[in-house]
Structure 1
Amino acid sequence: MRNIDNTVSLPYWDSSLDNEMANPANTILFSKEFLGKGFGQVPTGPFANWATPIGPLTRNIGSDSRLFSKENVKAILTRCKTSEITRPTALQQYSLNVGMVALTFGSVDR
């Protein structure tokens, strides 16, 4: 990707580390220094005031989703095909979309 546009970066986040916190919603990741606010419209950080097809970027971390645990990651890594970890074909224990943060990120454009 950097060969096409060297200004684009895709950060890596091991959410299983934050999953170990007493309250994962308190992760530094959702601060103005990183991804911006984790609740309500996002007025700070690099994603401040982003527009989506359904309105401004809004987050509600920790309400109806959860972070990946080390066990989730291990289970997913036992699968070989994308269809084994995504809806509607994945078994629940391997699905990326069963209340996980991926569902939350994926719903931005719904």
Structure 2
Amino acid sequence: MVRFRVEEKLREVDPEVSLAYWDYSMDYYLPLPSDSVIWSSCFAGNGDGIVREGPFRFMYGGFNDLIRRDIARNGTCPPRLINKDDIDQLMRFCYYAVGFWHVILSLIHLCLSGLSHFSKLDQFISKIRYD
């Protein structure tokens, strides 16, 4: 919700502004999660092996290694990504425990074959979740 409000305020200054985000609930319906447009060279780059295309190509991540992705190595994202129906059900609740959101948000990290605790930026990433 905060991201939406910030984007609306920015559009008051420049109507062409938009903030990028990945609605991974759309990828729930793909036969292979690695087929998502997010893994194209226009966005995050390839989703298999060392990232060789897109804006993150040949960048170094944690442990001074090149960024590597293995999207859904087994063909599915364990346990599974959330879909639009899941979101509708979640929005019916008035209160959410912080730990609950960590579980939901960790699903995408499992799909990407890693969790953010390996990153030097994990505290920053965790902070963004609440902004």
Tell me if TM exceeds 0.5: yes
The partner residue of 2:95 within 61, 75, 80 is 80
TM alignment of 1:1-110, pairs within 5 A: 11-54=20-63, 55-63=65-73, 65=78, 66-77=80-91, 78=93, 80-81=95-96, 83=98, 84-86=100-102, 95-97=104-106, 100-103=107-110, 104=112, 107-108=115-116, 110=118
Question: Is the Cα–Cα contact under 8 Å of residues 76 and 85 in structure 1 kept in the other structure?
Answer: no
Instruction: State the one-letter code of the partner of 1:58.
Output: R
Structure 2 CA distance for aligned equivalents of residues 24 and 86 of structure 1: 21
Q: Which runs of 4+ in 1 moved over 2 A?
A: 63-68, 71-82, 102-109
SS in 2 for 1:56: coil
Identity fraction in percent: 26
Question: Is the Cα–Cα contact under 8 Å of residues 16 and 67 in structure 1 kept in the other structure?
Answer: yes
Question: Is the Cα–Cα contact under 8 Å of residues 69 and 113 in structure 2 kept in the other structure?
Answer: no
Per the normalisation by structure 1, the TM-score is 0.65
Structure 1 CA distance for aligned equivalents of residues 94 and 44 of structure 2: 30
Structure 1 CA distance for aligned equivalents of residues 94 and 66 of structure 2: 35
Show CA shifts across 1:33-71 (max 9, x none): 221000111011011111112211111111354433223
> Runs of 5+ in structure 1 lacking a partner?
4-8, 88-94
Structure 1 CA distance for aligned equivalents of residues 41 and 33 of structure 2: 17
* Greater helix share, structure number: 2
Per the normalisation by structure 2, the TM-score is 0.56
Matched length: 96
> Runs of 5+ in structure 2 lacking a partner?
1-5, 11-17, 119-131
Structure 2 CA distance for aligned equivalents of residues 41 and 75 of structure 1: 37
